[in-house]
Structures are given as C-alpha cells and as structure tokens.
Structure 1
Amino acid sequence: MAPQASIICYYDVVSPYSYFAVTLLNRYRSQWKTVDIVLRPVFLPGILSGAKNQPPATVAAKLPYMVADLQRISTCAGIPYTFPSVFPVMSIPAMRLLVAIQKHESEDRYVQCVAKEAYWFNNQNISQKEVLIAAVTPVLGSEAKAEQYYEMTSDKDVKQELIDNTNQAIEAGAFGAPTFIVTTAGSDEPHMFFGSDRFETMASILNVPYPGLAPKNASKL
C-alpha cells in the first residue's frame, strides 16, 4: 500500500514559534484527516549547535523584531501569548517529560499544557518539576500519573530518545525549531519547512485545505 501523506513536526517549547506552530497544526488536524501528523520533541540548543546556528535572541537586530513579530502572530491567529520573564529557559526537563508522556499517551494536548498554559501564557518556569507536573495533570487526569511520567525523565531510554529526535532533525537539515518534514501520499521524498508561517505552502503540497491563520471555526487551544 502506498505511504500516507505525513508531517513530522520537530519542536521545542522554549521556541515561541514552536508554540504557535504546534497550536496551529492542532487546529488543522480535523481538516487534514488524510495526513499523518507526528509531534516530535527535540532539544533546540542541540539543533542550533549541530547546524552551527545561533538563537535569534542573541542577535541584536533580531530580538526586537522577534518580540514584535510574536505579538503580531498572537493577535492575528488569536493565540494567547505573553513573553515570559525567564527566557530562554532550560527546556530539557520539559522536553524529556513530553518524550516520556508521548511513549504512553496518544493525546497531544499535553504539549499545549506545557507550552501555553505554563510557559507562553502564564509565565511559569518550566525548568521546575512542580510547574511541569501541575501543567500536565489536567490532561493526564491525575497528579500521581504526572509524577510517574516526570520520574521517567531520568530513564536512559527517555534521555536517548530526545537525543535521537534531535539528531534526526539535524540529519534532515534542521537549523532551528519548528522544523517540519512533509511527505506527500505515495512518495518517499521529504520536503523540509522551517518556521510557523509555512502552513499554506505545506497545505498546497499536500493538497489539503488551508483554512487561514485565524479560521473562524477553529477552536483556540
């Protein structure tokens, strides 16, 4: 059987553009039923190092542009956003937790709990255990379950999976996050896209509808 169309989204919650990208991608899922969508946690500093790139916030001319650009995206897309007081934050604990949860859960809303409710809206320090547990508890259904997954962040296989995901992204050509690897139905030729503003082009390649940046009927995750 011919392979199904797919999107792999490599993301790190420390990246504001990853936050917007994952939120928008989750909006479009209901209309992109023919596309297999996979969210893959990575460690952004590892990608930047592997690509010999540097964070936008370290470039004097880019930082003020980025702050203004993020506010524009938030307003246009209707996605709640507040620039956090601790930026960048050490995201390894959060990304390992997301790896651990993803190994056992099929629901992707837990990404939004960490990215939106904790960091990019409520301005909480997601390097702290108690913040992460509180963030994912509502979706997981119990604090005990959240605690269990957090304990898994010290497991060798969880640590290695985050490393492997990061290396896969680098090998695919990633130089930042979010990075998307898009494959059309019946093809094994990947197309790489970077950033949260490439959905229209991806939709065109995949031959799926593009409802726009702020579709009227979209639920605001």
Structure 2
Amino acid sequence: MPTIDYYFGTISPWAYLAGDRLERIADRHGATISYKPLDILQLFDRTGGVRPADRHPSRMEYRAQELPRWAEHLGMALNVRPAFWPVNMAPSSYAIIAAQQAGGGDLGGLVQGVLRAVWAEDRDISDDAVIRDILGAHGFDPALADKGLFIGAETYGRNLEQAVEAGAFGSPFYIVRETGQRFWGQDRLDFLDRHLSAA
C-alpha cells in the first residue's frame, strides 16, 4: 500500500485549490496520506524560494490572475485577497497534527476546511474558536485545539526538516514514499494519479 507524504502550508492558496482530489486519488489506489503541515515561509527560506511579500510585482500580478483562473476552472469559490492573510499557521497546523494522531474524524475534510476558511470564508485560522469550530465540523474533538501543543510544535518543526531533506520546496507538495517520486502543485495531481496507476 503506497504512502503519500503531503507537505503543505495552511495558508497556501494552491493547497486550497487541490480540494479533495488527493483524497480521491488515494482512495482509488488504496494509498495512505500522511499529512505534514509546515511553515511554508520557512520552507521558502530554506530552499531558495521567495516569500510572497518579497516577490517582484510582476510575479504577484500574475498570481492575482492565475488564482481566479484556476478557481473558475475547478468551480471553487476564492477570495484573492482574503481578510486574514498572511496569518500565523502554527495553531491550525498543531490542530491538524493532533487530529491526525487522535483519529476518528475526517482528516482530509479538516485540512480542506482550514484552507477553505482562509480562501473562501474570510475566517482567521489563528483564532482558537475558529479552529475548534472546524475540528468539530469534521468529527474531531474541538478540545484538540488546546491539547498536545508541545507535540504539535515538535512535529511542526520536524515536518519542515523532513520536507527539506525529502526535496520539497513548495505547497502543495506530494511525495510517494516508496518510489521517491515528487509532485509539486495541485496541477500535478493527474501525474500523481498516473504514477500510482503505473506503480
């Protein structure tokens, strides 16, 4: 059974636009997903990327055109300038890490719910009340927002180190653990699907 290591930042618009396609691909191939939220800004720093705030205006102007194009193509709601962005990713990431460890809910739905909160619902994912609400909506104990903060912080930092070691440099980034094949971006999910079919 293949395992997909999924590296992402909870403020990534491109991870949001992936929707539930990764989960559907994994179901189709009997694959397991290991969700690895991380500090995407630090990943940029570590791997030669540029934080959005420091990018050339032409790159940001193109991004502002490309995001709504993809949202329309995928039939997804999108606010190109969300009310809470950028925002502290740690609290939402810790909650996802705690939920993955606890089990019992819809983890893929939780991840999508956090991303949707930023990019379609103008909610502040650094707010504990928002995190508790999203946890509960996807079958997890809302109290996970307050539990396991030490383990969450430790895993969050470890996810960054693992991403750098594995060759990830953006979000979303998918790595098939058994083959080492890497796929960067929601627009590469079809290639991931084809790779799993061939494997």
Is this a same-fold pair by TM over 0.5? yes
Work out the number of aligned pairs and report it: 194
The residue correspondences of 1:89-104 to structure 2 (distance < 5 A) are 89-104=87-102
Q: What is aligned with 2:175?
A: 181
The amino acid across from 1:197 in the alignment is: D
Contact 2:52-2:60 within 8 A present in 1 as well: yes
Supply the distance in 2 between the matched residues of 1:179 and 1:77 (Cα, whole angstroms).
19
Q: Which runs of 5 or more structure 2 residues have no equivalent in the other structure?
A: none
Q: Could you state the TM-score of these two structures normalised by the residue count of structure 2?
A: 0.87
Q: Secondary structure at the match of 1:96?
A: helix
The amino acid across from 2:99 in the alignment is: I
Q: What is aligned with 1:198?
A: 188
Q: Which runs of 4+ in 1 moved over 3 A?
A: 27-30
Q: What is aligned with 2:68?
A: 71
CA-to-aligned-CA distance 1:97-135 (integer Å, 9 cap, x gap): 11111110252211122111x211111111111221222
Supply the distance in 1 between the matched residues of 2:92 and 2:148 (Cα, whole angstroms).
9
CA pair 119-100 structure 1, distance change in 2 beyond 3 A: same
Which among 77, 85, 95 is matched to residue 80 of structure 1?
A: 77
Q: What is aligned with 1:35?
A: 31
Which structure has more helix as a fraction of its residues?
A: 2
Q: Could you state the TM-score of these two structures normalised by the residue count of structure 1?
A: 0.79
Once the two structures are TM-superposed, the CA of residue 36 in structure 1 deviates from its matched residue by 2.5
CA pair 57-18 structure 1, distance change in 2 beyond 3 A: farther
CA pair 34-133 structure 1, distance change in 2 beyond 3 A: closer
Q: What is aligned with 1:122?
A: 121
| Structure possessing the higher radius of gyration over alpha carbons | 1
Q: Percent identity?
A: 24
CA pair 22-55 structure 1, distance change in 2 beyond 3 A: farther
CA-based RMSD of the aligned residues comes to 1.9
Q: What is aligned with 1:215?
A: none
